[in-house]
Amino acid sequence: MAKIKPSKGAPYARILGVGGYRPTRVVPNEVILETIDSSDEWIRSRSGIETRHWANDEETVAAMSIEASGKAIADAGISAEQIGGVIVSTVSHFKQTPAVATEIADKLGTAKAAAFDISAGCAGFGYGLTLAKGMIVEGSAEYVLVIGVERLSDLTDLEDRATAFLFGDGAGAVVVGPAKEPAIGPTVWGSEGDKSETIKQTVPWTDYRSGEVAKFPAITQEGQAVFRWAVFEMAKVAKEALDAAGISAEELDVFIPHQANERIIDSMVKTLKLPESVTVARDVRTTGNTSAASIPLAMERLLATGEAKSGDTALVIGFGAGLVYAATVVTLP
């Protein structure tokens, strides 16, 4: 019986570069108030959101991804030809096939990189990061591009008082490559499909096509149920990720949770008992909830502003529709 040769990958993987792209149009809460009965004070107190970015016709999922990816590749100090895999997490690319990752890989100039999309909602970046780490350690790619990108303005019901103010557009990307020591910890991830109705698309595309409904599908959620789940259950997952990495809360430098809601972020910080020395990402204030893009966008901003620095130890956790989640500890690029 023939024996298969073992894979020859790197011993470990790490994030080598990060890049982000936010659409040029900045949308303040006043614009949202044109279509819902609310107030700027109410929106800020409920979510922490002051502004968000909405894409124009030219700022497509692919275009935003290419901009963010170019920055990440430059930051990593490699060339696009060295990218062996492109993983795109998105729920707002409206072509079922082909995967937008293939277009991105081609336009970036990769040398026929493996390219595919994943749908894991707000946990998508963590899922992609875990897959990229596996590809590098397994040896099927030396460098992998992980992109989180959304145009959630296309899936926002501006008359839904519970969600109209939440969502924004943008793209964040990281390059993952080989490392000589651990720099991406074990991933704690999973799903709770019995709660899938708490965040969902209002109706299937087929209902809209058939004319059963006249209103274009949008994202809706049960706000209180999502809040409770995120605060109580995801804090446990975050703690599991710290334990899996052998890191205590006191040793952590940075906390980058999914930018869903500042109240959720504050509650998680309190539940995890993070010391004041830990830098906490609050990109949600000016970027809104960008689902799969929120963690890499927040990471990019922290590094760009100097609030976080290269080599810092960061806990990242994403959670959302499905319900799905993914948390890990990483060394920042």
Q: Which residues are catalytic?
A: 122, 258, 289
Alpha helices per DSSP H over the chain: 29-32, 40-47, 61-76, 100-108, 124-138, 205-210, 223-228, 234-245, 262-272, 284-287, 294-305
Rg over CA atoms, the chain: 19
Nearest to 65 by CA among 114, 115, 108: 108
Distance in angstroms (rounded) separating the CA atoms of residues 295 and 297? 5
Burial class (CB in 10 A: 0-12, 13-18, 19+), 76: buried
Distance in angstroms (rounded) separating the CA atoms of residues 93 and 270? 36
The secondary structure of 232-282 as a DSSP string is IIHHHHHHHHHHHHT--GGG--EEEE--S-HHHHHHHHHHHT--TTSEE--
Residue whose token pair is 């107190």 = 45
The CA dihedral of 55, 61, 66, 67, to the nearest 10 degrees, is: 20
Q: What are the two backbone dihedrals, phi and then psi, of residue 313, each rounded to the nearest 5 degrees?
A: -95, 125
Q: What are the two backbone dihedrals, phi and then psi, of residue 186, each rounded to the nearest 5 degrees?
A: -60, 140
Residue whose token pair is 């970027």 = 287
